[in-house]
């Protein structure tokens, strides 16, 4: 599904552990991996300058990824001083990744590190999908567990769907990514549609109609994915969107949840930033954001 990954780490988010799991990442279908770190600029008499000593130190640390590197994968290390956003943008032009991997904090409220400053700006600017991994989860995996996780990063996707423009685009983005790579690791997709649950008896017939309509719509989406050799299951739930999606992710052994958005700040659609933010705050599953 993905072949070229740009892994951005601040060396405190757990992603630096991935330098020891290049063979496992290669098993997930990746054949080109770049590890990126941005060091802070030094202020020398008020004039910013690169911290070359720190750059060399970090470069040496991340270069451990080159050890025992399989022939099927190319690994590069990119360390510079400056603003992370600028560095990542330049690295994308240089290394041409089809996936950017970032870490995100898990807190009760959003912070700059969680769909805030850098991540929010990246999602606004980039045309490249962004995978967001939970640092606390990666940090607690044993070596064997993390190796298995790396091998199965793209095995089973959960795709929230409501037939909106952003949902349709999300499905098309997934289909395009699969079609463009012969060595596809995506085996299964769960299409889930959540209908608001109502308790008023007078509205129950309307809700049942919405459920039936959702089921019929999902059956029309399913064949286009199955044509690519992907096993597809559809499910319609009633209740809170976030809760039902997270419950389904556990029940169906999901490896990753996918989301998309057609505009930031819009709250009327399923795949809006509000849904994405809440999902990021509450989900321990990896999330891939596909820009529109």
Give the mean pLDDT of 225-254. 94
Distance of CA 177 to the CA centre of its chain: 14
Instruction: Render pLDDT for 239-253 as a digit per residue (tens, 0 to 9).
Output: 999 999 999 999 999
**Would you state the pLDDT for residue 292?**
78
Q: Does 93 have pLDDT greater than 90?
A: yes
The answer, yes or no, to whether residue 112 has pLDDT greater than 60, is no
Is the confidence at residue 79, as pLDDT, over 60? yes
Most confident stretch, 163-172, 179-188, 275-284 = 163-172
CA separation for the pair 98, 35 (Å, rounded): 14
Task: With beta carbons less than 8 A apart as the criterion, state whether 194 and 240 touch.
Answer: yes
Look up residue 130 and give its two tokens.
């962004």
Confidence band for 274, pLDDT divided at 50, 70 and 90: low
What single string gives the DSSP state of each residue in 3-22?
Answer: -EEEEE--SSSSGGGGGG-H
Please give the domain boundaries of the chain with CATH numbers for all domains. Answer: 1-152 (3.40.50.620), 154-292 (3.40.50.620)
pLDDT at 88 (0 to 100):
92
Q: What is the pLDDT of residue 181?
A: 77
Mean pLDDT value across the chain? 86
pLDDT at 202 (0 to 100) = 58
| Per-residue pLDDT, 120 | 64
Q: Which of 38-52, 80-94, 270-284 has the lowest mean pLDDT?
A: 270-284
CA distance 58 to 39: 9
Q: How far apart are CA 178 and CA 172, in angstroms?
A: 10
Q: Is the pLDDT of residue 236 over 80?
A: yes
Tell me, what's the pLDDT at 135?
A: 86
Average of per-residue pLDDT across 79-100: 93
The winner for highest mean pLDDT among 16-20, 201-205, 282-286 is: 16-20
Model pLDDT for residues 53-62, shown as the tens digit of each residue:
999 999 999 9
Distance CA 35, CA 13 (A): 13
Spatial CA neighbour of 8 closest among 109, 116, 107, 135: 135
């Amino acid at each position: 599904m993905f072949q070229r990954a740009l892994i951005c780490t601040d060396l405190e988010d757990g992603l630096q552990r991935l330098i020891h799991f290049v063979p496992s990442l290669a098993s997930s279908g990746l054949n080109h991996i770049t590890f990126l770190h941005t060091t802070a600029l030094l202020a020398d008499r008020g004039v910013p300058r690169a911290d070359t000593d720190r750059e060399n130190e970090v470069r040496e640390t991340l270069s451990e990824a080159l050890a025992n590197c399989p022939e099927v994968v190319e690994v590069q290390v990119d360390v510079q001083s400056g603003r992370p956003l600028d560095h990542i943008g330049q690295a994308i032009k240089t290394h041409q990744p089809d996936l950017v991997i970032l870490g995100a904090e898990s807190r009760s409220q959003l912070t700059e590190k969680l769909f805030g400053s850098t991540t929010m700006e990246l999602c606004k600017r980039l045309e490249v999908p962004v995978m967001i991994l939970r640092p606390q989860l990666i940090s607690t995996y044993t070596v064997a567990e993390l190796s298995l996780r790396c091998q199965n990063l793209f095995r089973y996707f959960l795709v929230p769907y409501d037939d909106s423009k952003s949902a349709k685009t999300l499905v098309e983005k997934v289909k395009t990514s699969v079609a463009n790579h012969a060595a596809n690791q995506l085996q299964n997709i769960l299409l889930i549609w959540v209908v608001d649950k109502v308790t008023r008896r007078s509205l129950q017939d309307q809700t049942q109609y919405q459920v039936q309509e959702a089921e019929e719509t999902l059956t029309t989406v399913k064949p286009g994915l199955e044509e690519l050799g992907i096993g597809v299951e559809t499910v319609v739930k009633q209740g809170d969107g976030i809760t039902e999606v997270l419950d389904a992710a556990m029940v169906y052994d999901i490896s990753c949840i996918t989301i998309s958005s057609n505009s930031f700040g819009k709250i009327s659609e399923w795949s809006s930033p509000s849904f994405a933010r809440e999902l990021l705050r509450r989900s321990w599953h990896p999330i891939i954001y596909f820009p529109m």
